[in-house]
């Protein structure tokens, strides 16, 4: 009874607390019937962490896919730009190649020289006569024919006159050496002196082009052709000096007058015109006096003086006796 009273007292003491905890129900918790997965906070946190991790992985995969799509689009744009760049470069290369081939075909085409040789014979004759008439006009630039047909024909005419003069002087032509020397001399003077005077004209600020210089000097050779043709057939030194001063001097004065009208400044005119006049007159003296001797010296140096042409000479074959032949045949038979 005492024990029952104590228990009842204890129950009375804890009655309010039990009522508050249970809310009118039983406060006994059966641990055996309790589920292990029923609402543990650590387990809930683990599940939330796992879910968050999975969501983060899914978001990361989604971001990676989006990034790959963006990279693919970026790479696609770069590839498209690269293709456009290559196409533009190919088009530029093809355009440059076409222009280069067109330029080479243009320079290789003979039609580019047609304007310089498109001239009538009447115009050539008039320009030949004008090359012997000096015109005193220095206030305005005198007109120069921009064609090369007349000068080229005069150069070839001078070559023919030099060959004729060598034949009249009893010079023997050996293997075309004489013709090659004449062509080299005439064309070398025409092209070389024209280039040199054009360079001086550029330094002296003269208004003349290379084609005009070639035409001017080429027509200036007309006086040389007349002088040499006459003096090669009429061998008088006094006659040569008359033609040298008269005909050659007139053609030289014509060129000097043209250059004076196209040059500004007394010093520049003196340098340019003095150089041209000296070269032109000295070249005529060289062709008359020294050209034959120089060519004969070249021929003697190359082939020797009065060297006869090569001929085939028959050689004597020594007679071999029959005994020697028989002995040789027997030796060969024994060896075999």
pLDDT digits (tens, 9 = 90+) for 15-39: 444 554 444 444 444 444 444 444 4
What is the predicted pLDDT for the residue at 29?
Answer: 45
pLDDT of residue 43: 47
Query: What is the value of pTM for the model shown?
Result: 0.57
* pLDDT tens digit sequence for 155-173: 999 999 988 887 766 655 5
Whether the pLDDT of residue 222 is over 90: the answer is yes
Instruction: Give me the pLDDT at residue 112, please.
Output: 74
Q: Which phi and psi angles does 314 have, rounded to 5°?
A: -75, 130
Choose between 133 and 324: higher pLDDT: 133
Question: DSSP alpha helices (H): ranges in 23-148?
Answer: 41-108, 114-117, 121-130
Answer whether residue 54 shows pLDDT above 70. yes
Residue 255 burial by Cβ neighbours in a 10 Å radius (0-12, 13-18, 19+): buried
What does the pLDDT read at residue 249? 92
Greatest alpha-carbon pair distance for the chain in Å reads 186
Residues of the chain above pLDDT 70, percent: 59
pLDDT of residue 120 exceeding 60: yes
Contact 273, 257 (CB under 8 A): no
CB 216 within 8 A of CB 258: yes
Gyration radius from the chain CA atoms: 57
Determine contact, residues 252/134, Cβ cutoff 8 Å: no
Nearest Cα to Cα of residue 274 among 204, 179, 183, 186 = 204
What are the extents of the domains in the chain? 88-114, 121-127+134-301
Residue the block writes with tokens 């196209």: 262
Q: For the residues 231-250, what does the mean pLDDT come to?
A: 88
3-class DSSP state for residue 135? coil
pLDDT tier, 151 (very low <50, low <70, confident <90, very high otherwise): very high
pLDDT for 136 equals 81
Q: How many CB atoms are located within 10 Å of the residue 240 CB?
A: 21
Tell me the range of 48-62, 159-173, 212-226 where mean pLDDT is highest.
212-226
Task: Please give the backbone phi and psi of residue 162, each rounded to the nearest 5 degrees, phi first.
Answer: -65, -40
What pLDDT was estimated at residue 137?
78
The pLDDT value recorded for residue 216 is 93
Mean pLDDT of the chain, nearest integer: 74
The helix/strand/coil state of 21 is helix
Report the range of poorest mean pLDDT among 88-92, 193-197, 218-222: 88-92
Dist. CA 280–CA 289, nearest whole Å: 15
Percent of the chain with pLDDT over 90: 32
pLDDT above 80 for 220: yes
- Reduced to 3 states (helix: H, G, I; strand: E, B; else coil), residue 312 is coil
For the segment 256-288, what is each residue's pLDDT rounded down to a tens digit?
Answer: 999 999 998 899 999 999 999 999 999 999 988
Taken as a whole, the chain contains a residue count of 336
pLDDT at 121 exceeding the cut of 60 = yes
Which of 72-76, 205-209, 237-241, 326-330 shows the lowest per-residue confidence on average (mean pLDDT)?
72-76
Q: For the residues 296-325, what does the mean pLDDT come to?
A: 53
pLDDT of amino acid 244: 92
Token pair 């200036």: residue: 220
Q: What is the pLDDT of residue 107?
A: 58
Q: Kindly provide the b/e burial profile for residues 15-43, where b requires at least 16 CB atoms within 10 angstroms of the residue's own CB.
A: eeeeeeeeeeeeeeeeeeeeeeeeeeeee
């Amino acid at each position: 009874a005492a024990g029952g009273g104590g228990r009842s007292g204890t129950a009375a003491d804890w009655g309010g607390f039990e009522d508050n905890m249970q809310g009118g129900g039983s406060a006994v918790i059966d641990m055996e019937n309790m589920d292990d997965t029923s609402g543990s906070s650590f387990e809930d946190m683990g599940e939330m962490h796992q879910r968050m991790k999975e969501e983060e992985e899914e978001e990361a995969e989604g971001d990676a896919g989006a990034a790959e799509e963006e990279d693919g689009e970026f790479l696609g744009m770069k590839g498209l730009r690269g293709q456009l760049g290559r196409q533009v470069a190919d088009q530029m290369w093809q355009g440059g190649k076409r222009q280069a081939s067109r330029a080479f075909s243009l320079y290789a085409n003979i039609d580019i020289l047609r304007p310089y040789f498109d001239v009538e014979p009447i115009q050539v004759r008039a320009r030949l006569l004008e090359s012997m008439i000096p015109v005193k006009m220095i206030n305005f630039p005198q007109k120069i024919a921009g064609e090369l047909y007349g000068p080229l024909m005069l150069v070839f005419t001078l070559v023919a006159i030099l060959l004729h003069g060598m034949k009249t002087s009893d010079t023997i032509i050996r293997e075309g050496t004489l013709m090659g020397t004449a062509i080299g001399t005439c064309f070398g003077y025409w092209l070389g002196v024209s280039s040199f005077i054009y360079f001086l004209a550029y330094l002296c600020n003269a208004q003349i082009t290379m084609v005009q210089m070639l035409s001017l000097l080429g027509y200036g050779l007309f006086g040389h052709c007349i002088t040499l043709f006459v003096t090669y057939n009429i061998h008088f030194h006094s006659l040569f000096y008359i033609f040298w001063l008269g005909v050659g001097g007139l053609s030289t004065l014509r060129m000097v007058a043209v250059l004076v009208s196209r040059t500004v400044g007394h010093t520049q005119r003196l340098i340019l015109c003095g150089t041209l006049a000296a070269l032109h007159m000295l070249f005529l003296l060289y062709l008359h006096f020294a050209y034959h001797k120089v060519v004969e010296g070249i021929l003697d140096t190359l082939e020797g003086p009065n060297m006869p042409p090569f001929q085939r000479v028959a050689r004597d074959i020594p007679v071999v006796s029959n005994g020697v032949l028989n002995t040789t045949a027997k030796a060969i038979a024994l060896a075999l």
